[in-house]
Structure 1
Amino acid sequence: MRPATWVRSSAGRGASQKRSAQSSRPRASAKTKSTWWISSSNTRSISIISGDRENILRIDYLRVGQIVRAHGVHGDVKIIPLTDDPARFRGLKTAYLETTAGAYAPVAVTSARFMPDAVLLHLEGYDTVEQVETLKNLYLCVNRENAVKLRKDTYFIVDLIGCDTFDTNGKAYGKVTDVLETGAHDVYEIERGKLLVPALKKLLREVDIENGRIVFDAQVLEEVGCFAD
């Protein structure tokens, strides 16, 4: 089965649109297999150990939350959102449970309620605390077709990872290996930290997701880029 990933997005600061949780159409699949893990920075971002960009974009199922426990006595599940748009749960009708075996089991969502730091859902067929406890720690996913649409200047993180980076003078810096959430703005990690680049609109001259290419303004990069010694 194909791996899933966080439903977070990234936008250059200074853009008029807010960030949202969505995706774009995946590119053709590759034969090699990618391995994924949660970034050591403890952010809602992801990194890639092996595999190429086309394989990254094979991902069809996107994690929108993780089930932490039952809530109440009628089978509601408490979910920690893994999306920067928790309101997307309000209209969610069908989701997928990512099983420990790597399969994706469809499940109907019959209700959604919101807490300050969590979402309470009722999943069809899970009506008791005992049934819900079998889902503890599983990820709740959506497929790309049902992801919320991207706004202008907003990019799905999984689509940024693996992009080749250049400056306006044509110098290559390598691939994006992670996107770190710092609070003020996202930071693109290039080649495992050899270069850290804040996602500023004045810096991002071109973001071509389809062709896996990001171009930085060379002068601005010299001012704001953090180069490893």
Structure 2
Amino acid sequence: MATLELIWDEVHTYTLWAWDRPRGSHTTARVIKRFKKRVYLVEIGFRGQDQTQLAIIKTARGDYESQIALREYDFYSNELLQLQGQVVPECYGLFKGKVNGIDLFILVLEYCHGPEPQRTLDLKLDENRELMLSVCKLHQVGVTHGNLVDGHHFLKTENGVRIIDFSAAFRHRCRNVFPVLMTPNGPTENCGCPELMNMEKRYGLLGDMASRKSAEQLAFAYW
């Protein structure tokens, strides 16, 4: 079974086993920086070799956090699988071990680095469209992120926008996952989805375009 050797510090090293990969490589990850609670930057590589690749790990301990980690990994393994590396980070696996008798889960993800997008008026129209279409692609595969309103879950990378952190996501079927034309008073139509409506208000196709038809043509060019 694939394993992950996690070097936490100079004193503590833990061995974890892949959650659902009976065969696979053995890797080592060394924690180098804490970003926030339960989110760390690591250097990772094959066991016995230098750890040269940067990655993100999300830790979960105890029953409650473990269930959140399992649910997030389930999204990455199913609905988000085809969006990895394009709209969401690559997921390298979920690993489980025990520390002091308590379950420890480690979710290993691609390190996506870049600035958070600024508010709409500070963005070029092209960047607004890219953000909006990324959200639409989530909803197209049946996922509502759940925390996009605060704007802290978008990262602009050299390879495009990434949407991160699906710990609050839930499954959802939209009747319309196409960006709508915005006017100064808001969207020209109600798409029936609160998250998409909020994103339209912040990042939608702005009303300097003459018609719904022109907005559709422009969106298709970026789809």
User: How high is the TM-score relative to the length of structure 2?
Assistant: 0.23
Which is higher, the Rg of structure 1 or of structure 2?
Answer: 2
User: How high is the TM-score relative to the length of structure 1?
Assistant: 0.23
Which structure exhibits the higher relative contact order, with contacts defined as CA atoms closer than 8 Å and separated by 6 or more residues?
A: 1
Between structures 1 and 2, the one with greater helix share: 2
